[in-house]
Amino acid sequence: QVQLVESGGGLVQPGGSLNLSCAASGMIFRIYTMAWYRQAPGKQRELVAFITSGGSTNHVESVKGRFTISRDNAKKMVYLQMNSLKPEDTAVYYCNTQMSTMPWGQGTQVTVSS
């Protein structure tokens, strides 16, 4: 049974940093392009960044230079280092495959506020 468990969220002031983690189980993790998504209140879920099985990355324009996605295939983990956080980054953050083929986890809440 596939399970994705996100953690690492919290309340942070503008300009602060957080490092999100996602633990995957029940899937052949290493073959998938993995991604981070976020859903802000009243908005649709959106892709934030993805990383291929070989480690190539892509980040959406709004987070480029501030967020960095990474993965550890041996540990079946994917990470999102978030720096220079802005209030508009406030959302629930989820991980999944790039094509969203796995059941969604519960997500982790990130709140950026002074």
Residue-level pLDDT at 84: 98
Mean pLDDT by 10 residues, the chain (114 residues): 96 98 93 97 96 96 98 97 98 95 95 97
Residue-level pLDDT at 65: 97
Token pair of 111 as six digits: 């709140």
Cα(16)–Cα(27) distance, integer angstroms: 33
Integer angstrom CA distances of residue 35 from 15, 51, 56: 23, 6, 12
Residue-level pLDDT at 101: 87
